Structure 1
Amino acid sequence: MQISQLPYADPGVPDVRSGTRFLVWLGRMQLGGQVRSLLWGLLLQLSIAGLPVGVGLAVQAVVDRDGGGLALGCGVVAALGCGIAVGDTMLHRTAVTNWITAAARVQQLLARRTAELGSLLTRRVAAGEVVAVSTGDVEKIGWFVEAFSRFAAAVLTLLAVCVGLVVYEPALGVVVAVGVPALALAALPLLPRATRRADTQREKAGKATELASDTVAGLRVLRGIGGEELFLGRYRAASQEVRRAAVRSARMWALIAAVQVLLPGLLLIAVVAYGAGLVLDGRITVGALVTVYGAVALTHHPLRNVEEIAMAYAFSRPSARRAARVLALARVTGPAADAGDRKASGDLYDPLTGLIAPAGLLTAVVCGDPDAAGRLADRLGGHPAEPGDDHVSVRLGGVPLDELSLDAARTAVLVQDKEPVLLSGTLRELLDVPASGAVRPEDALSAAQCGDVLDALAQASVDGDGDPMRTRITERGRSLSGGQRQRLALARSLVTDPEVLVLDEPTSAVDSHTESRVAAGVRKLRAGATTVVLASSPLLLDLADRVVLVHEGRAVAHGTHRELLAGEPRYRAVVTRETDDEPAAVTAGTEALEGETA
């Protein structure tokens, strides 16, 4: 795989059982690149390790006054120099390719999973963790995949050096063959502690990123309540914890690096001292001592790769574990999910709660618990809200949603989250979404009561004609109020014109007058289509064809708003916020509502 061929047509199905298995899967998926990097790494490392041979031949030739031997030694050094130049260049090229392609594969997998899960992703995983995985973690995972082939080349090179020295000069070669493996394994006792400290650092960094993300997202609210200093203090504290954890982690890696410098130096001293004695005894030549000395001195290069792979694994393993945790989240599908373009229509039925939304009607659902309402909205969209819910799928016209392909399921049922996100771009781009074509953007904007939003965008338009459709909306719509963002998101959902539209508190950020007009607009535009609204506003509930009360996870009552208000105490308690001390106030409020609607 080359960088020019990105993105992948199919990034594959990852092994997400653990972080280590995910790293192994990534390496296996890039086997060709790993082999190329290994071969170029062997050329580089063996060329470096072979330099002492040429130098030893040249030195011995000078001692023996042998011109031919000197020429041979210089020729060997020159050839090995060319091998180093070519190997280093090509190794860098293939290693960077492995790094980038591995990171791109992970990013593609994350992007696909994010698109598949939608808003459900941030319900199950903190937003800060998603950001950490898609940025810094991706780089660290790519680093390990890239470093592994160089590590394999270093191990093979060390093995070749030890075997070669034993064959070339057994007396000194045995010392090197025993000492080099000990050097490579010397840092192992320190790795568990270094890994734990690296894990702690990454965990604290993830929490700090999450805190920063949440603070930026809620900056407008924080300024309104004067909470900037409070959250700034919290972020300072979290940042200092990250700094301290990073320093503690760096100390361990500095100790490992010191060991990798100290022990080879001691081995080199031992080889020189022992070899000098052998030269004085006449058992080996000066050239042989120079060769062995040079070979031992240059083992620091492959040994650095051993240290690097240990560091890469320590930093990438928690990153891979987080990525695997995100990628393990999936839309549960039945055995018939890929059986062609299967479609469904009819009543929407949730077996878990017993909720029925008849086809063609506006059904309002009242839940006393807002979190329960959010989980129910997820279920109606085909996503199990709880780990044990995946065996009971919501049915549309008798067809389980998990037996539909993802495209078919999203065409059939669209869920608008309680806090929808607006992407940056023009208003025309915002409303340019996959749709049936039956609803015009102008009609959707009108139904969602976006007149004031259009006026504000027209004033901010860069065009002379003040076309609001060409005005750019800032990231996440932060230049708009909460109610304006909510209504634009509602208009976007209405444009898609799905078989079933599920709205979770679509008017929670608007005033009562606007809410009434929005409810009427949605009812008119969605006439004859199935619409489910999870809300507790009497103005919206009174316009619904059918109202269902979900209490403690079960649909316990249904009827019109007024019927339930008069005959169902649990419904009345949720809608009117009734308490035991306020029966008279509730009655007065009900009468006022009836008088207003009359």
Structure 2
Amino acid sequence: MRKADPPGRYVLWRAVGGQRRDVALGALLGMGHQTGEALVPVLIGLAVERGVVDGDIPGLLLWLGILAAVYIGLSFSFRFSARAGERASVTAAHHLRTALVGRVLAPEGGADEGRLPGELTNIATEDAKRVGAVAMAVIVAFAAAAGLVVSAVALLRVSLALGLLVLLGTPLLLWLGHLLSKPLERRSETEQERAARASGVAADLVAGLRVLKGIGAETAAVARYRRVSQDSLSATLRAARAEAWQNGVVTILTGVFLALVALVGGHLAAQGDIGLGELVSSVGLALFLIGPLTEFAWVNTELAQGRASAARIAEILDAPAAVPPGPAPADTTTPRAVEGRLRLRTLSYGTLRGVDVDIAPGETVGLATTDPADATALLRCLGRRAEPDAGTVELDGTELTALGLSEVRAAILVAEHDADLFEGTVLENVTAAVGALTLVPAALTASGTDEVVRALPGGLDTPVTARGRSLSGGQRQRVALARALAADPPVLVLHEPATAVDAVTEARVADGIRDLRSGRTTLLVTNSPALLAVTNRVVFLEDGHVTATGQHEELVHECAAYRTAVLA
């Protein structure tokens, strides 16, 4: 996109251009329909002239037959034009939704920063639908233009004054309609932005409903949503007022214009400059012009809303990547062999300051922190969701930035504390990232999910609702841990995997992780004594720096800050 282009223009061009066959077909058939509609009053005028004025009955029947044929043609043209237009609109919206989802889920990230999931959903549905509707608006615009041109030509044949009035007055009316659509475009953009925000907050509150009820925060949550919803309502009403004002003014201007055409036609008939049949045609054409001019007003509205939505979609599609994608692997047929050596060299990012950690292949290392922000910053760097401010992260001696994102994420799995489950069965969630099912039974046992399965009515086939809301917090956490263990990556990073279970289950999970990951590089980012006790050694971060390293028992006895962090 050129920098001089208005935001979102290329989105509109791509949406309409991608459906050029249907748009061209719809426009051609629509032009045929409007041409037929414009010819109807002309044919009626000729029939009146032959049958009433001249008394030519065969001529009257001939023109009535032609009129019937025109009606059949314009009826089928409208039907198939509307079908092509709808197909173009829904297909363009579908492609936009696919592009948006692809950008949001792209490995390099960045598109979802600062936006709630509900907001992204609103953009992918409502905004994509409005941009897709522009394809239909283009078809209608071409059809209406054809109707106006044919009407102007027919009026020119009747009277030069009438034809010039339509040819000169119509562009002026369209220009005024375009000016009137500008406030609507601005308010439509605000309306969609506020509506998306309200949807995002609603989805966020629903996702955390159990927590909100647990802490008694329902009243505060309702008040928050009421404020956001009220803002959305106000923006919607402002946009509706702008649309109503635009439609009202355009209707008044259109009515004045048509009255002027009828007045001029009547004056010419009174003076004898045109005959009875020509007067009938002129009045009919003036009435017909209501349709194309009204359609142009609708087209202006659709374009205004489409431009606003396209600008919002462009913000997502053009969002800068959180990390560069990295080079593509030279050989895509043979997976890169990973030993599992992980090294952090003077890593600085967020709250981290010059962190040095060296994890040998097959080692299980614990990492405890005094500040949860340190753990979050580390996970973002290890998962390649952010670029370090300084220093590097190396895998088997190669910096992660020198590897493709697909290679990094195939080698290093970062299982975060708040991992989501998906709609499906328990088994489908556990095996979501599994190539072979051989490790699944061991993963279920190691994570304690086997106990969960025995307690569920359908066992592994028990349905799980979206985000795992049908399970308790502890059950959800164990299923997510089983999924990470079953994936069996060369390097596994687990963040607080057992905070929602009891002490006995936590100890069992700790032993299960140690046994199952024996010989595989594992990093446990946690302050849980049970988990830290099964590691080969622990790295302790205090204020973003590594201040102590050793076995859990040693650090408990020798480091007061560590003892406070993990035992308090």
TM-score (norm 2): 0.87
Question: 1:332 matched to which residue of 2?
Answer: 324
Contact preservation (8 Å) 2:327, 2:403: no
Q: CA deviation at 1:565?
A: 5.8
Deviations 1:160-182 (A, max 9, x none): 44355335531211111121112
SS, match of residue 576 in structure 1: helix
Question: Aligned to 1:127, which of 117, 139, 155?
Answer: 117
Deviations 1:122-167 (A, max 9, x none): 5553112122123323322222233223223323443444355335
SS, match of residue 506 in structure 2: helix
Question: Aligned to 1:361, which of 336, 360, 363?
Answer: 363
1:204-219 map, 5 Å = 204-219=194-209
1:94-243 map, 5 Å = 94-117=84-107, 124-166=114-156, 169-243=159-233
Contact preservation (8 Å) 2:184, 2:305: no
Contact preservation (8 Å) 1:98, 1:146: yes
Deviations 1:291-348 (A, max 9, x none): 2332232222222332223222333334333333333455631233576245252323
SS, match of residue 205 in structure 2: helix
Q: CA deviation at 1:85?
A: 0.9
Question: 2:564 matched to which residue of 1?
Answer: 576
Question: 1:477 matched to which residue of 2?
Answer: 468
What code does the residue aligned with 1:527 have?
A: S
| Cα 1:243–1:336 shift into 2, 3 Å | closer
Residue 266 in structure 1 maps to residue 256 in structure 2? yes
Question: 1:444 matched to which residue of 2?
Answer: 443
1:475 & 1:315 partners in 2: Cα distance?
A: 32
Question: Aligned to 1:535, which of 511, 526, 549?
Answer: 526
1:123 & 1:365 partners in 2: Cα distance?
A: 27
Contact preservation (8 Å) 1:382, 1:393: no
What code does the residue aligned with 2:507 have?
A: S
Question: Aligned to 1:370, which of 347, 351, 372?
Answer: 372
| Cα 1:235–1:87 shift into 2, 3 Å | same
Q: CA deviation at 1:263?
A: 1.8
1:310 & 1:34 partners in 2: Cα distance?
A: 18
SS, match of residue 82 in structure 2: helix
What code does the residue aligned with 2:436 have?
A: G
Question: 2:494 matched to which residue of 1?
Answer: 503
What code does the residue aligned with 1:336 have?
A: A
Question: 2:336 matched to which residue of 1?
Answer: 343
Q: CA deviation at 1:552?
A: 6.3
1:254-333 map, 5 Å = 254-328=244-318, 330=321, 332-333=324-325
Contact preservation (8 Å) 1:542, 1:562: yes
Count matched residues: 551
1:502 & 1:103 partners in 2: Cα distance?
A: 39
Which deviates further from its counterpart, 404-413 or 185-194? 404-413
Question: 2:452 matched to which residue of 1?
Answer: 453
1:117 & 1:336 partners in 2: Cα distance?
A: 13
What code does the residue aligned with 1:24 have?
A: W
Residue 492 in structure 1 maps to residue 480 in structure 2? no
| Cα 1:55–1:379 shift into 2, 3 Å | farther
Deviations 1:211-237 (A, max 9, x none): 211221111122222222332233334
1:508-587 map, 5 Å = 508-550=499-541, 558-561=549-552, 573=561, 576-577=564-565
2:304 & 2:544 partners in 1: Cα distance?
A: 44
| Cα 1:123–1:145 shift into 2, 3 Å | same
In structure 2, runs of 5+ residues without a counterpart are 349-355
What code does the residue aligned with 1:65 have?
A: G
SS, match of residue 448 in structure 2: coil
Which deviates further from its counterpart, 163-172 or 425-434? 163-172
Residue 35 in structure 1 maps to residue 29 in structure 2? no
| Cα 1:202–1:66 shift into 2, 3 Å | same
SS, match of residue 535 in structure 2: coil
| Cα 1:417–1:321 shift into 2, 3 Å | farther
SS, match of residue 192 in structure 2: helix
Contact preservation (8 Å) 2:538, 2:552: yes
TM-score (norm 1): 0.83
1:131 & 1:452 partners in 2: Cα distance?
A: 36
Which deviates further from its counterpart, 283-292 or 480-489? 283-292
Q: CA deviation at 1:497?
A: 0.6
SS, match of residue 366 in structure 2: strand
Q: CA deviation at 1:496?
A: 0.8
Q: CA deviation at 1:82?
A: 1.7
Question: 1:10 matched to which residue of 2?
Answer: none
Which deviates further from its counterpart, 370-379 or 51-60? 370-379
Contact preservation (8 Å) 2:186, 2:308: no
2:125 & 2:483 partners in 1: Cα distance?
A: 29
SS, match of residue 538 in structure 2: strand
% identity of equivalent residues: 35
Deviations 1:362-381 (A, max 9, x none): 23334444344334323322
Q: CA deviation at 1:438?
A: 7.5
Q: CA deviation at 1:490?
A: 0.4
Question: Aligned to 2:40, which of 41, 51, 58?
Answer: 51
1:293 & 1:108 partners in 2: Cα distance?
A: 49
1:69 & 1:567 partners in 2: Cα distance?
A: 113
| Cα 1:385–1:221 shift into 2, 3 Å | farther
Which deviates further from its counterpart, 530-539 or 156-165? 156-165
Deviations 1:492-522 (A, max 9, x none): 1111111211222222323444333322211
Deviations 1:440-490 (A, max 9, x none): 222111111224312321xx23xxxxxx11222233222322122111100
Question: 2:410 matched to which residue of 1?
Answer: 411
Q: CA deviation at 1:566?
A: 6.7
Deviations 1:208-267 (A, max 9, x none): 212211221111122222222332233334333333332222122112222232222212
In structure 1, runs of 5+ residues without a counterpart are 1-15, 462-467, 578-585, 591-598
Contact preservation (8 Å) 1:143, 1:312: yes
1:31 & 1:554 partners in 2: Cα distance?
A: 59
1:510 & 1:101 partners in 2: Cα distance?
A: 47
SS, match of residue 494 in structure 2: strand
2:45 & 2:331 partners in 1: Cα distance?
A: 70
Q: CA deviation at 1:97?
A: 0.9
2:483 & 2:179 partners in 1: Cα distance?
A: 58
1:438 & 1:277 partners in 2: Cα distance?
A: 88
RMSD between superposed Cα atoms in Å: 3.1
| Cα 1:156–1:228 shift into 2, 3 Å | same
1:552 & 1:159 partners in 2: Cα distance?
A: 75
What code does the residue aligned with 2:65 have?
A: G
